[in-house]
């Protein structure tokens, strides 16, 4: 996925950004202490993601940390299990019918190798019907293709083709699924 890099200098004070961060921390605290699957919990999810969560989607607590949840877009009928890390300064889009297991890391930002207080940000895209296994890490600028599978514990550093199964660190294609079985 070709995408433009955004750079954010953390040395430049951003009072509005700090207010937003504090607001997000308060919502996360409430979410982590609210009974899941209740109306209150679902309202907090909508508030956290600024309404960018599709019908039939659910994100399980606990949340340990989250950066810029306002930059996350979650499609319809998505299930995200507990303890997923969203580092979303560069943007994270999760299309419809995606399943994400526990302890997954979705990381759309990194630090410049020489100017460590500068964030380098590129979006993460997880396409329709993809399945991300437990403990996988999806790095900045990566697109996980339609109906692709990322094996548990994998570290995805490059785009994953549609219908591919990838495993390992770095993740490599080991199999291509039969496209006809999804149509």
CA–CA separation, 100 vs 59, rounded Å? 9
Instruction: Report the chain's C-alpha Rg in angstroms.
Output: 16
Using an 8 Å Cβ cutoff, are 7 and 120 in contact? yes
Average pLDDT over residues 13-25: 91
CA–CA separation, 48 vs 105, rounded Å? 18
Residue with tokens 């020489």: 114
Indicate the SS3 state at residue 73: strand
Pairing of strands 164-168, 171-176: antiparallel
Query: How many residues are listed for the chain in this entry?
Result: 183
Average pLDDT over residues 62-74: 89
CATH number of 6-172: 2.160.10.10
Confidence of residue 183 (pLDDT cuts 50, 70, 90): confident
Distances (CA, A) of 43 to 36, 40, 91, 169: 11, 5, 22, 37
Confidence of residue 42 (pLDDT cuts 50, 70, 90): very high
Q: What is the pLDDT of residue 2?
A: 67
* Residue 158 CB coordination number (10 Å): 15
Query: End-to-end distance of the chain based on CA atoms, in angstroms?
Result: 24
The torsion angles phi and psi of 44, rounded to 5 degrees, stand at -65, -40
Average pLDDT over residues 163-174: 98
pLDDT of 93-125, one tens digit each?
A: 999 999 999 999 999 999 999 999 999 999 999
CA–CA separation, 77 vs 95, rounded Å? 9
* The pLDDT of residue 70 is above 70: yes
Q: What is the pLDDT of residue 38?
A: 95
Q: What is the pLDDT of residue 157?
A: 97
> Mean pLDDT: which of 6-10, 16-20, 147-151 is highest?
147-151
Which of 10-24, 95-109, 114-128, 159-173 has the weakest average pLDDT? 10-24
Q: What is the pLDDT of residue 67?
A: 87
Using an 8 Å Cβ cutoff, are 182 and 147 in contact? yes
């Amino acid at each position: 996925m070709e995408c433009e890099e955004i750079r954010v200098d953390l040395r430049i004070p951003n009072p509005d950004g700090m207010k937003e961060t504090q607001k997000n921390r308060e919502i996360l605290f409430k979410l982590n202490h609210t009974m899941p699957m209740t109306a209150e919990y679902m309202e907090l999810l909508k508030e956290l993601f600024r309404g960018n969560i599709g019908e039939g989607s659910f994100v399980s607590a606990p949340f340990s940390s989250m950066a810029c949840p306002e930059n996350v877009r979650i499609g319809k009928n998505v299930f995200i299990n507990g303890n997923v890390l969203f580092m979303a300064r560069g943007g994270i889009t999760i299309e419809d019918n995606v399943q994400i297991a526990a302890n997954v890391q979705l990381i759309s930002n990194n630090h410049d190798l020489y100017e460590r207080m500068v964030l380098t940000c590129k979006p993460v895209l997880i396409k329709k019907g993809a399945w991300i296994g437990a403990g996988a890490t999806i790095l900045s600028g990566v697109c996980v293709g339609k109906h692709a599978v990322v094996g548990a514990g994998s570290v995805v550093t490059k785009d994953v083709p549609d219908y591919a199964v990838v495993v390992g660190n770095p993740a490599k294609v080991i199999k291509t699924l039969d496209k006809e079985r999804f149509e």
